[in-house]
Amino acid sequence: MVSKEFFAALDELCVAKGIEKQDFISTLQSALTSAYKKHAKCEDTVVEARLNEEKCSIRCYLIKDIVEVVEDPDKQISLEEARLLKKSYKLGDKYEEEFSTKDFGRIAAQTFRQVVMQKVRVAERNNTISEFEEKENEIQAAIVRKIDGGNVYVELSGGALEGVMLPQDQLPTETYNLGDKITVYVKRVRQVGKMTQILVSRTAIGLVKRFFENEVPEIKQGVVLIKGVSRDPGQRTKIAVYSADANIDASGACIGNKGARVNAVIENLGGEKIDIVLWSENPLEYIANALAPAKVLKVYEIGENAARVIVPDDKLSLAIGKDGQNARLAAKLTGWKIDVKSESKALEELEETVEE
């Protein structure tokens, strides 16, 4: 069979679907083989399909071993019978008989189509997965498609791939419903057996970073740097920012005009509170900033990576936060152990020390 149109269409398909041409030709050969076996109703028959791009030809052959005594008619042929086709055949040769695909019935044609379409689907999926491997640690738009066993399954890349959000990656303040449009963070693309699993998250620290990068041009430009993030997902986040340019207000850039930028991030995080603090190379100053919004009177070192913070009596609860959240997040952000004390308590301890 000669078909220039077929090979032209093959080229277009390979380009459009991102399939290696030789790989797809091998698939076509396998598909023709499967189709013939369905047509001949013999699974053991050896069939070979040969595609010649230069001549734009497709030829299919039934292959048998030439033997003296035939034991398996599906795979063997006698020398006498083989020589009816070609007199030069001898024992041990491979007998080749060309057949036409035009004789294929409906079932055989369906088999060919299924094999080819399966290859196209696998190639498309693999290409999409390869693209997603490059998108690890990025954010993606997603649609909730299934909720099962506590896991939330989302549609990614226009439905080409499925992501799974495990319970620990779901915001405790959010309820997910089928059809919800959400933004997720691609944590990891991993192989589970033959399946590719894309783990996504709404609790990852990287989600906060990416939202700020999208909302604050100065961060994308590298003028403002994110130096650290600590997060209690769904409740509160502290983000430390810094700019080497004295003319740039790093905190103000992240807050935006009338709080527009930080409010956009808060909305994307479902109302999670955000404290934007200035990073400092002086760890004690950094600790004071990290305890915002509480006012700090004094910070001093009491050991290796450990500091005591003195705050006004009426700011103690604010500095510590509900269930110790503010102090805990500040400690995670700075990497220091932080002991917060009220001014009166610190004076009381000082007096006791002096008396002793």
| Residue 282 pLDDT exceeds 90 | yes
More confident position, 108 or 126: 126
pLDDT given for residue 211 in this prediction: 97
Which residue, among 222, 224, 227, 256, has the nearest Cα to 239 in the 3D structure?
A: 227
Separation of alpha carbons 230 and 237, rounded Å: 6
Say if residues 241 and 252 touch (Cβ distance below 8 Å). no
Contacts of 4 (CB under 8 A, 6+ apart): 56
Class level of CATH domain 204-279 = alpha beta
pLDDT given for residue 33 in this prediction: 73
pLDDT given for residue 52 in this prediction: 73
Residue 58 CB: number of other CB atoms within 10 A?
Answer: 19
pLDDT given for residue 339 in this prediction: 94
Q: Each residue of 187-220: pLDDT tens digit?
A: 988 766 666 778 999 999 999 999 999 999 999 9
Give span(s): CATH 3.30.1480.10, the chain.
4-126
As to burial, measured by CB atoms within 10 angstroms (0-12 exposed, 13-18 middle, 19+ buried), residue 303 is exposed
| Residue 309 pLDDT exceeds 80 | yes
pLDDT given for residue 32 in this prediction: 73
Report the largest interatomic distance among the alpha carbons of the chain, rounded to a whole angstrom.
Answer: 120
82 — pLDDT class (breaks 50, 70, 90): confident
Contacts of 58 (CB under 8 A, 6+ apart): 1, 2, 3, 6, 32, 49, 50, 51, 52, 101
The pTM assigned to this predicted structure is 0.67
Q: Which whole number is the average pLDDT over 61-77? A: 86
DSSP state of 336: S
Per-residue H/E/C for 155-212? EEHHHCEEEEECHHHCCCCCCCCCCCEEEEEEEEEEEECCEEEEEEECCCHHHHHHHH
Q: Which whole number is the average pLDDT over 272-280? A: 96
Give span(s): CATH 3.30.300.20, the chain.
204-279, 283-356
Q: Each residue of 212-265: pLDDT tens digit?
A: 999 999 999 999 999 999 999 999 999 999 999 999 999 999 999 999 999 999
Q: What are phi and psi of 314, to 5 degrees?
A: -80, 0
Residue carrying the six token digits 């009381």: 348
Q: Which whole number is the average pLDDT over 311-335? A: 95
Say if residues 4 and 56 touch (Cβ distance below 8 Å). yes
140-201 has which CATH code? 2.40.50.140
281 — pLDDT class (breaks 50, 70, 90): very high
pLDDT given for residue 175 in this prediction: 93
Separation of alpha carbons 347 and 356, rounded Å: 14
Contacts of 177 (CB under 8 A, 6+ apart): 144
Q: What Rg do the C-alpha atoms of the chain give, in angstroms?
A: 34
Work out the end-to-end distance of the chain between its first and last CA atoms, rounded to an integer number of angstroms.
105
Fold of the 283-356 domain: GMP Synthetase; Chain A, domain 3 (3.30.300)
Local structure of 218: helix, strand or coil: helix
- Which CATH entry fits the domain spanning 4-126: 3.40.190.100, 3.40.50.150, 3.30.1480.10, 3.30.300.20? 3.30.1480.10
Separation of alpha carbons 147 and 69, rounded Å: 63
Contacts of 235 (CB under 8 A, 6+ apart): 173, 272, 273, 325
Q: Each residue of 26-60: pLDDT tens digit?
A: 777 777 777 777 766 666 777 777 777 777 777 77
Question: Could you tell me the two tokens for 235?
Answer: 């409740």
Which residue, among 211, 213, 214, 187, has the nearest Cα to 198 in the 3D structure?
A: 187
Separation of alpha carbons 342 and 309, rounded Å: 8
117 — pLDDT class (breaks 50, 70, 90): confident
Which residue, among 235, 190, 183, has the nearest Cα to 206 in the 3D structure?
A: 183
